[in-house]
Amino acid sequence: MTEPTTPQIIDAAAEQAKVNLLGMSHNELRQQLKAMGEKPFRAEQILKWIHHEGMTDFDLMTNISKPLRAKLKQCAEIRPPQIVSQETSKDGTRKWVMRTDGDGLIETVFIPEDGRGTLCVSSQVGCSLDCSFCSTGKQGFQRDLTAAEIIGQIWLAIKSFDGFKAGSGRSVTNVVFMGMGEPLLNFDNVLSAMNLMMDDLGYGISKRRVTLSTSGVVPALEKLIGKTDVSLAISLHAPNDELRSQLVPINKKYPIKVLLDTVHRYMDDLQYKKRVVTIEYTLISNVNDRPEHAYELAQLLKNTPCKINLIPFNPFAMSDYKKVSNKALDKFRKILQNDGYVTTVRTTRGDDIDAACGQLVGDVKDKTKRAARHRAARGMETEQVVKIVQ
């Protein structure tokens, strides 16, 4: 006689085996349906239900046959990360803490502005790099996010603003990969997510409104050439190798000249030749904010079609750096502008909810032991560093 099987064990195994459709591209979903013995054209219908209607329940996908819905329920799911907390700043900035598989926490930030809404998404749980001025880097690194977890951040943000309802205005118009993680160290998943963002069956966001920001992973940036034409931002933060290597350690492996040469090749490959790269420069008091740094930066970038975005450093617990003074910031900006550079200053948004640039942290099951080393060096306990709602 066959021993009865515990129903809960069957359900758990089935749940683990399910494929998450949230991050699947059009072609991947077509292949999935074909493997199920279904017509590939059904992929278009399913994608619209997921990304245009915000649907997670297969039973409510009314233009799909009942047999196919039954199949999908058995082997697939539409599952975004879990929202742990949501905070809204006094300036309208909204921040979510989201739980991913493996029990890591990431943060996603929405910044409303006149005529647009920018979503800052994370690409890793923690960060593979350790830039000295960034709170995320101090938390160490757990793992890369899947394409579904990256797309899930957009899906949840739109849902948060009732953006899937008929007649709703588009809440998310721009996406920037400037949250937790180094995007180019999660190459395949980030590329898949960006393509889905720009796909009309996904979110239909213009390639000029999707921005990938990198600290300079040169081989991956080289690999990106010809595969996408999203906007590019470079986290430079210093005008010379000696200073940049202190602030952005990956510079020791890929120095500024090598990085900028690769940036030029990426930009030259774009069809629209008038596009420019954004140079991000975090200004830190008495570190990289002096007039001589501004003059050196202007000279460094003279052959690079770019705009420069100055970012005042946002203090956090595990750093001794100080915020740049308004006087030093204004002088730095004027030097660049007088040399002909389009120069903007990133307005600090959401700092009252720790959502400003460089302040994002998560609950990272750190594989690198980096977070423990940073805490030990400062004699700090974990709870003094990470302020997350559990």
Token pair, residue 153, equals 């951040």
* Cβ atoms within 10 Å, residue 187: 18
pTM for the predicted model, two decimal places: 0.86
Q: Which one of the listed residues 75, 77, 107, 120 is annotated catalytic?
A: 107
Q: Where are the domains of the chain?
A: 7-77, 82-384
Contact between residue 261 and residue 218 where contact means Cβ atoms under 8 Å apart: no
Q: Which one of the listed residues 120, 131, 306, 357 is annotated catalytic?
A: 357
Q: CA 56, CA 59: separation in Å to the nearest integer?
A: 9
Which fold, 7-77?
DNA polymerase; domain 1 (1.10.150)
Q: CA 180, CA 354: separation in Å to the nearest integer?
A: 13
The CATH-assigned architecture of domain 82-384 is Alpha-Beta Barrel (3.20)
pLDDT at site 256: 98
Token pair, residue 178, equals 């400037």
CA 82 to chain centre: 17
DSSP helix/strand/coil, 146: coil
pLDDT by 10s per residue, the chain, length 390: 444 443 333 344 444 579 999 999 999 999 999 999 999 999 999 999 999 999 999 999 999 999 999 999 999 999 999 999 999 988 889 999 999 998 889 999 999 988 899 999 999 998 889 888 887 767 788 899 999 999 999 999 999 999 998 777 778 999 999 999 999 999 999 999 999 999 999 999 999 999 999 999 999 999 999 999 999 999 999 999 999 999 999 999 999 999 999 999 999 999 887 899 999 999 999 999 999 999 999 999 999 999 999 999 988 777 889 999 999 999 999 999 999 999 999 876 556 656 555 444 555 555 555 555 555 555 555 444 344 332
Of 264, 249, 170, 175, nearest in space to 213 by CA = 175
For residue 357, indicate whether it is catalytic.
yes
Token pair, residue 127, equals 């960060």
